[in-house]
């Protein structure tokens, strides 16, 4: 009862929102009014330092807008039926596997993905930079085809989105390529011993040309579709699958400008792309200028 004396009328209204939100939390299906339902209770929980309640609300928000790459993958890909690419060539599949998923995701978006624009103000008011970062990222793919969403954003938010997307692309083309050692690619010690045992002679620069060629194709898709997490995922998975496709168990790379990577360079590039995805995801708040 003492608490009731401390509450302002606005807080009392928030308590009503809180009761509706708690009932809403039991539903597993997405509802488009999530930001409206959680905004008041989240502000109230933050104001009165109700950490348990805030944690519960945050877990619900992160169901829609996860703050880990694993959870994002669960929403972005597992909620959408993967397209059948069995009739595509390896190069076509590597370039279009995940971008086809993006088209399917766009068609299925109302079923599993909430409206990002409505979450921007909520994330800003409640100081949720990690949530706002993934919300901004979700707007990057096919950005020019989203006029209805951009028209509902403030000019400042549009500038953050555009600059953040540009920073992300610049990072991929420079530090991202450096992280993968693209410009100085040689077979590293982790794989070279196995390569020598199998007679694969790319220990110097035998695979450098096909690696560079594959990387440039990946970067082109990233720039075209604006979804590096999806593009890197598709390319990494394809490279990993190809390491087991050779009938002899391995591929030779004996020429300096061979068009095909050996299986060890494919495995290394695949692993590097998965690691780069994590780096990109972790850097999202920095790209969109949301760090404290």
Report how far residue 9's alpha carbon sits from residue 44's, in angstroms, rounded to the nearest whole number: 12
Q: Spell out the residues 6+ positions from residue 44 whose beta carbon is closer than 8 angstroms to its own.
A: 11, 14, 15, 18, 50
Judge if 97 and 178 occupy the same domain: yes
d(CA 184, CA 105): 36
Among the three residues 14, 47, 64, which one is the final residue of a domain in this structure?
A: 64
Q: Is 231 part of a structural domain of the chain? A: yes
42 and 119 share one domain: no
Number of H helices, E strands in the chain: 15, 0
Specify if 46 maps to a domain.
yes
**Are 113 and 53 members of one domain?**
no
Q: What's the average model confidence in pLDDT over 35-58?
A: 80
Residue 75, in any domain of the structure: no
Average pLDDT, the chain: 75
Confidence (pLDDT) at 273: 97
Domain end position, chosen among 22, 48, 64: 64
Cα distance between residue 51 and residue 175, in whole Å: 38
**Residue 266 belongs to a domain:** yes
d(CA 213, CA 210) in angstroms, rounded, equals 5
Mention every residue, 6+ apart, whose C-beta is less than 8 A from residue 109: none
Q: Are residues 238 and 203 in the same domain?
A: yes
Which letter does DSSP use for residue 29 in this model? S
Domain co-membership, 49 together with 103 = no
Say what the pLDDT of residue 148 is: 82
- The string of pLDDT tens digits covering residues 242-273 is 887 654 444 444 444 456 788 888 988 999 99
3-state DSSP percent of the chain in helix, strand and coil, to 5: 70, 0, 30
Residue 63 has pLDDT above 80, yes or no: yes
- Cβ contacts of 134 within 8 Å, gap of 6 or more: 65, 66, 67, 72, 284
pLDDT single digits (tens) 89-115? 443 444 444 444 444 334 334 334 577
Query: String of b and e for 134-170 (b: at least 16 CB within 10 Å)?
Result: bbbbbbbbeeeebeebeeebeeebeebbeebbeebbe
| Joined tokens for residue 48 | 């009165």
Give the Cα separation of 243 and 261 in Å (integer). 10
Cβ count near 107 (within 10 Å): 10
In a domain, 81, yes or no: no
Domain stops at, among 29, 64, 99? 64
Do 121 and 41 belong together in one domain?
no
Task: Compute the distance between CA of residue 35 and CA of residue 121 in angstroms, rounded to an integer.
Answer: 9
Read off the pLDDT of residues 11-28 as tens digits, 9 standing for 90 and up. 666 666 555 555 555 554
What is the pLDDT, as a whole number, of residue 190?
47
> Is there a domain that residue 78 lies in?
no
Q: What is the CA radius of gyration of the chain?
A: 23
Within 13 Å of residue 187, how many CA atoms lie on the same side as its CB? 24
pLDDT above 70 as % of the chain: 63
Give a yes or no: residue 83 inside a domain.
Answer: no
Cα gap 88→90, rounded to integer Å: 6
Q: Are residues 102 and 40 in the same domain?
A: no
* pLDDT surpasses 90 at 228: yes
Residue 149 and residue 260 share a domain: yes
> What range defines the domain where residue 43 resides?
1-64
Residues 137 and 12 both lie in one domain: no
Q: What is the mean pLDDT of residues 144-157?
A: 86
Q: Total domain count for the chain?
A: 2
Q: What is the pLDDT of residue 40?
A: 78
- Residue 119 pLDDT class (50, 70, 90 cuts): confident
Q: What is the spatial distance between Cα 290 and Cα 123, in angstroms, rounded to a whole number? A: 11
Q: Within this chain, do residues 14 and 111 fall inside the same structural domain, yes or no?
A: no
Residues 107, 245 share a domain: yes
* pLDDT of 85 higher than 50: no
Phi then psi dihedrals of residue 274, to 5 deg: -60, -40
| pLDDT of amino acid 223 | 93
In a domain, 245, yes or no: yes
Task: Kindly tell me if the per-residue pLDDT of 209 is higher than 80.
Answer: yes
Claim to verify: residue 97 and residue 55 sit in the same structural domain: no
Two tokens, residue 43: 């502000």
């Amino acid at each position: 009862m003492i608490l009731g004396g401390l509450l302002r009328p606005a807080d009392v209204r928030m308590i009503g929102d809180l009761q509706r939100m708690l009932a809403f939390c039991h539903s597993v299906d997405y509802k488009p009014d999530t930001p409206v339902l959680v905004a008041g209770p989240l502000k109230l929980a933050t104001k009165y330092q109700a950490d348990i309640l805030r944690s519960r609300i945050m877990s619900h928000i992160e169901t829609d807008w996860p703050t880990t790459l694993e959870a994002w993958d669960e929403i972005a890909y597992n909620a959408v039926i993967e397209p059948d690419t069995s009739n595509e060539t390896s190069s076509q599949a590597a370039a279009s596997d995940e971008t086809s998923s993006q088209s399917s995701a766009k068609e299925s978006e109302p079923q599993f993905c909430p409206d990002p624009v409505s979450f921007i103000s909520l994330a800003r008011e409640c100081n949720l930079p990690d949530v706002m970062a993934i919300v901004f990222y979700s707007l990057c793919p096919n950005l020019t085809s989203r006029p209805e969403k951009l028209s509902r954003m403030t000019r400042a938010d549009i500038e953050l989105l555009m600059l953040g997307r540009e920073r992300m692309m610049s990072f991929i083309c420079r530090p991202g390529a450096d992280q993968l050692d693209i410009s100085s690619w040689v077979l590293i010690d982790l794989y070279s011993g196995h390569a020598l045992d199998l007679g694969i002679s790319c220990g110097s620069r035998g695979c450098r040309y096909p690696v560079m060629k594959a990387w440039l194709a990946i970067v082109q898709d990233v720039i075209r579709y604006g979804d590096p997490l999806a593009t890197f995922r598709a390319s990494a998975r394809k490279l990993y699958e190809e390491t087991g496709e050779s009938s002899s168990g391995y591929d030779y790379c004996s020429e300096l400008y061979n068009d095909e990577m050996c299986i060890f360079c494919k495995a290394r590039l695949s692993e590097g792309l998965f690691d780069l995805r994590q780096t990109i995801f972790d850097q999202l708040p920095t790209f969109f200028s949301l760090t404290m």
